[in-house]
Amino acid sequence: MRYEGARLAGFSTEEKKPQRCGFDLSFFLLVLCLLLMGVVMVLSSSYARAYYDPGNITGGNAAYYFIRQLVYAVLGIGLMLLASRVPMGFYRRYAMPFLAFTLLLLLLVPLIGVKANGSRRWLGIGGLTLQPSELAKLAVILSFSVLICRFRDRMRSFRYGIVPFVLILLVIVGLLVLEPHFSASIIILALGGAMLFLGGAALGWFLAALAAAGIGLAVLLTFFPYASSRINTWRDPFSSSSDEGYQIVQSLYSIGSGGLSGLGLGGSRQKFLYLPEEHNDFIFSVICEELGFIGAALILLLFAMLILRGFWIALHCRKRFDFLVCAGISTLLAIQVFLNVAVVTNLVPCTGISLPFFSYGGTALLIQLGEMGILLSASRDILVQR
């Protein structure tokens, strides 16, 4: 009788599955805004080098880098939308296989990788290249999130809260050092530490890690002249402005030339083969030169809004795994933006770190937009309809 009454009243006796809502529109629009600005700045910063073609790559096509970046941006938007449709349970289920796949790719890089600028960081696939270090960042976020959920009540112990995570980091960083790719190693170590902090690892282990890092840095500066020379160049780049300090000096010239309002879009002078990597790691210097302090501050404000919105989504997630993934992706974005700006302004020693959505590079852009899609997927479950 109860069943029949419920049926006649229009109520289903079966429990309905939750229906996912639309994703966070504010976050999506911020991503598109930064991506559009990034593609425009790639065109502005790269056309001189592409036209001159010192490496015989572009064939003199001034729009070479812009066209490729635009294609990757369009593909990336599609990937972001696709990733936003995939339930978060899928990412949890395949996190560890994805980690194993990434480790395999990292292992192949020193063996058959494409060499450029003295390093092997890419795998050639047909006419395209793949940078596995970008996949490794996402693999750390996903795998750490799974393990933290698995060891939730034992995260303060050494056996469960430290050992498996440190082993993953050591393997990944060890493979990155073989390339070598020290900037990616720094980012992954910082990201791993942030994930452990979010997971509730004991504070004492972080203090021990900082002490070990300090000792390691002292040993490096004492017994490796190259490292101490790098620090000296960082402290006074103008003392070797034609050698080791050349790139950072040109970057500072570019930033200083912009002043308050900049020289205007397309008006940079340093991009005419004075500033190395002007469309890649040092694109923020060209931004400062062309858009000035006001334009650069606006872009950093948009990044801050995007990162804060990412953490807002993380804090409103219903599941611990979703929270950890969203917080991890937002932290990764914050780390890369901070370090890139710090490098080009000589706040930290010079190393190759790209600016998300702006620096030229297909693999990085696709994976960054894919990560944004994962975060959008989690946002669908916040206001889930039942």
Residue-wise pLDDT tens digits, 25-66:
999 999 999 999 999 999 999 999 999 877 667 778 899 999
Supply the pLDDT for residue 5: 43
In a domain, 4, yes or no: no
Contacts of residue 368, Cβ cutoff 8 Å, sequence gap at least 6: 76, 134, 333, 356, 357
Structure confidence at residue 17 (pLDDT): 56
**Is the pTM here over 0.85, yes or no?**
yes
Calculated CA dihedral for residues 183, 186, 188, 193, nearest 10 degrees:
-160
Predicted confidence at residue 15, as pLDDT, reads: 43
pLDDT per residue as tens digits for the range 303-357: 999 999 999 999 999 999 999 999 999 999 999 999 999 999 999 888 888 999 9
Q: What pLDDT is stored for residue 115 in this prediction?
A: 74
Whether 166 is in a domain gets the answer yes
- The boundaries of the domain holding residue 189 are 19-380
207 is a domain residue: yes
Q: Is residue 35 part of a domain?
A: yes
How much is the pLDDT for 100? 96
**Token pair 């002043």 is at which residue?**
259
DSSP strand E in the chain: where?
Answer: 114-116, 119-125, 128-130
Q: Taking Cα atoms as reference points, which of 375, 376, 370 lies closest to residue 72?
A: 370
* Omega before residue 180 within 30° of 0, cis: yes
Q: Is the per-residue pLDDT at 4 higher than 60?
A: no
The share of the chain scoring above pLDDT 90, in percent, equals: 61
Q: Tens digit of pLDDT for each residue in 259-300?
A: 999 999 999 999 999 999 999 999 999 999 999 999 999 999
What pLDDT is attached to residue 117?
65
> Alpha-carbon dihedral of residues 143, 145, 146, 151, nearest 10 degrees?
120
Can you read off the two tokens belonging to residue 297?
Answer: 């501050």
Smallest CA-to-CA distance from 297 within 346, 325, 258 is with: 258
pLDDT at 13: 39
Give domain status of residue 7, yes or no: no
Q: Six-digit token pair at 217?
A: 């840095």
198-212 mean pLDDT: 84
Average pLDDT of every residue of the chain: 87
Q: Residue 212: inside a domain, yes or no?
A: yes
Per the structure, the count of domains in the chain is 1
Is residue 8 assigned to a domain? no
Is 1 within a domain?
no
pLDDT tens column, 347-386: 988 888 899 999 998 889 999 999 999 999 999 988 654 4
